Amino acid sequence: MEGKMKVIIKGQAGEGAQLSEMEIPKVGPKDVLVKVLATSICGTDYHIYSWDEWSQKRIKPPYVMGHEFAGEVVEVGKDVSSIKVGDIISAETHIVCGVCDLCTTGNAHICKDTAILGVDTNGTYAEYVSIPESNAWKNPKGIDPAYLAVQEPLGNAAHTVMAGEIIGKTIAVVGCGPIGIMTVAVAKAVSAAKVIAIEVNEYRLNLAKELGADIVINPLKEDPVKRVLEETNGLGVDVVAEMSGNAIAIQQALKYIKLGGRMSLLGIPTKEVAIDIANDVVFKGITMQGIVGRKMYDTWFQVKGLIESGNLNLEPIITHRLPMEDFEEGFELMKNGNCGKVVLYPTKKILDNYTK
């Protein structure tokens, strides 16, 4: 396919992004070209948009932003066999080598040669995107693409919650941004005994409550350490799902995690975080684990099963739908925290199809 397409580009170092045009990408022999139907704003995208310390070290403009999406395949490379034109797909956004020790032992999600769609390559804030066949996740037809687009971040939530035992456990979800509220929903769906949501933004605390949080705590209004201990008979929570990347929140969580507990960290701190390893990790016997993306493809099948079970409440997660031209409004919503998932549509026609 030839021609120009509309894109949101990170044109240079610094805050912001620009609406622009570029050539529709070509497909390689093992790639598929996808017409984007919906793409959602991720916390990582906001890091890049705001040009924080992490993004300054990682991102190399100019390039097209975005990585969470769903779309229709419109062209396939000559060696593609499992995907055909007309398929509706989402994407596993970690593009891995497939041949290293990690990839061949079930640990492709931490492949040392990973490139991330929309971070290291041109992304999905565009009318079309080219991805490897091996990264395409085939979806049923007839489903709102906004829900298909958020399977990738939903996978992050599922990986964080289910990286250890969770049934019958108490869990604190720290940071209720879009993936945090998904984490609340996943924890409830897989039978956590009590879900405690901790967040400074009242809008997002209300979303967490709507998605099933048993207890909500605003650290600006009360001491989260004291409250969590009160809610757990002084023992602390079995599991901490750290989604905020906030240094103070991480330090507090280490005070209210149960002896022998598990802390799974997905949030990305923008600076180094000082922790008391002796007293808060070693002598408490806790496990701290970094969560990178989704297990390929175990987590995708888990998410598929959760959705099909009917136990997972996705309806409140998507709070805003905008045309791509209004991307700045979407990022402003992210900045203020007055949103769940914000979904962008490349054209008004596609937007109208799903908002009538």
SS3 108: helix
347 included as an active-site residue: no
Contact 343, 335 (CB under 8 A): no
> CA of 261: how far to CAs of 64, 253, 339, in Å?
40, 11, 31
CA 99 from chain center: how many Å?
26
Q: Take residue 31 and report the two structure tokens written for it.
A: 């790639």
- State the Cα–Cα distance between residues 83 and 87, nearest whole angstrom: 7
Task: Give the CA angle between residues 295, 135, 96 to the nearest 5°.
Answer: 65
Q: Taking each helix axis from N to C terminus, what angle separates 43-50 and 327-336, rounded to the nearest 10 degrees? A: 100
Are 39 and 69 in contact by the 8 Å Cβ rule? The answer is yes
Other beta carbons within 10 Å of 5: 19
SS3 of 152-197: the string is: HHHHHHHHHHCCCCCCCCEEEEECCCHHHHHHHHHHHHCCCCEEEE
Beta bridge partners of 318: 341
Strands (E), 11-67: 18-23, 31-40, 63-64
Active site residue 44: yes
Q: Please, are residues 281 and 305 in contact by the beta-carbon 8 Å criterion? A: no
Q: Catalytic amino acids?
A: 44, 47
